[in-house]
Amino acid sequence: MDKFVVRGGNPLLGTIKVSGAKNSALPCMAAAILTEDEVILENIPQVHDIETERKLLTSMGAEVELGYGRAQHRTSIQCAILSDPVAKYEIVKTMRASSLVLGPLIARTGIARVAMPGGCAIGGRPIDLHIKGLEAMGATITQDHGYLEARTDRLKGAHIVFDKITVTGTEDLLMAATLAEGETLFENCAREPEVTDLAALLIAMGAKIEGAGTGTIRVQGVAKLHGARHKINPDRIEAGTFLLAGAITGGDLNIDCCEPEHLGSLIAKLEQCGVRIDVGKDNIRVRSGGDLKASDISTEEYPGFPTDMQAQFMALATQAEGTTTVTENIFENRFMHVQELIRMGANITVSGRTATIRGKTPLQSAAVMCSDLRASASLVLAALVADGESILDRVYHMDRGYERLEEKLRGVGAQIRRMGDVFSKR
Ligand code: EPZ
Rounded to the nearest integer, the mean pLDDT of the chain is 95
From 189, 207, 231, give the residue that closes a domain: 231
From 169, 204, 231, give the residue that closes a domain: 231
Long-range contacts of 349-356 (CB under 8 A, 24+ apart): 353/327, 353/328, 353/329, 354/325, 354/326, 354/327, 354/328, 355/314, 355/325, 355/326, 355/327, 355/328, 356/323, 356/324, 356/325, 356/326
CATH of the domain at 106: 3.65.10.10
249 with 158, same domain: the answer is: no
Q: Answer whether 162 contacts ligand 1 (Cβ < 6 A).
A: no
Q: Answer whether 74 contacts ligand 1 (Cβ < 6 A).
A: no
Q: Answer whether 129 contacts ligand 1 (Cβ < 6 A).
A: yes
Domain region containing 11: 3-19+234-425
Where does the pLDDT of residue 289 fall: very low under 50, low under 70, confident under 90, or very high at 90 and above? confident
Structural contact between residues 341 and 318, judged by C-beta atoms closer than 8 angstroms: yes
Q: Which of 28, 79, 120, 257 is catalytic?
A: 120
8 with 64, same domain: the answer is: no
Average pLDDT over residues 398-423: 91
**What pLDDT, on a 0 to 100 scale, did the predictor assign at position 402?**
97
215 with 240, same domain: the answer is: no
From 231, 252, 272, give the residue that closes a domain: 231
Q: Which atom of ligand 1 is nearest to the CA of 330?
A: 34
Kindly tell me if the per-residue pLDDT of 426 is higher than 50.
no
Residues in CB range of 189: below 8 A, 6 or more apart: 162, 165, 170, 195, 211, 214, 215, 216, 217
Residues annotated as binding site for phosphoenolpyruvate? 22-23
Q: Answer whether 313 contacts ligand 1 (Cβ < 6 A).
A: no
Taking the centre of ligand 1 as the mean of its atom positions, its distance from the CA of residue 127, in whole angstroms, is 9
304 with 179, same domain: the answer is: no
Give me the number of domains the chain comprises.
2
254 with 192, same domain: the answer is: no
Average pLDDT over residues 184-213: 98
Residues annotated as binding site for UDP-N-acetyl-alpha-D-glucosamine? 96, 125-129, 308, 330
Where does the pLDDT of residue 15 fall: very low under 50, low under 70, confident under 90, or very high at 90 and above? very high
193 with 284, same domain: the answer is: no
Kindly tell me if the per-residue pLDDT of 7 is higher than 60.
yes
30 with 10, same domain: the answer is: no
277 with 145, same domain: the answer is: no
Kindly tell me if the per-residue pLDDT of 424 is higher than 60.
no
153 with 165, same domain: the answer is: yes
pLDDT in tens, 201-258: 999 999 999 999 999 999 999 999 999 999 999 999 999 999 999 999 999 999 999 9
Q: Is 120 noted as a catalytic residue in this protein?
A: yes
Q: Answer whether 401 contacts ligand 1 (Cβ < 6 A).
A: yes
312 with 345, same domain: the answer is: yes
**What pLDDT, on a 0 to 100 scale, did the predictor assign at position 121?**
77
Nearest to 171 by CA among 306, 288, 34, 75: 34
Kindly tell me if the per-residue pLDDT of 298 is higher than 60.
yes
Taking the centre of ligand 1 as the mean of its atom positions, its distance from the CA of residue 87, in whole angstroms, is 19
**What pLDDT, on a 0 to 100 scale, did the predictor assign at position 72?**
66
350 with 412, same domain: the answer is: yes
Taking the centre of ligand 1 as the mean of its atom positions, its distance from the CA of residue 160, in whole angstroms, is 18
- Which of 330, 336, 378 has the most ligand 1 atoms within 8 A of CB, as the residue to mutate? 330
- Output the residue whose Cα is nearest ligand 1's atom 43: 127
396 with 252, same domain: the answer is: yes
**What pLDDT, on a 0 to 100 scale, did the predictor assign at position 425?**
47
**What pLDDT, on a 0 to 100 scale, did the predictor assign at position 120?**
77
Average pLDDT over residues 315-333: 97
Average pLDDT over residues 311-327: 98
pLDDT in tens, 339-383: 999 999 999 999 999 999 999 999 999 999 999 999 999 999 999
Whole-angstrom distance, CA of residue 352 vs CA of residue 204: 44
Q: What is the CA radius of gyration of the chain?
A: 21
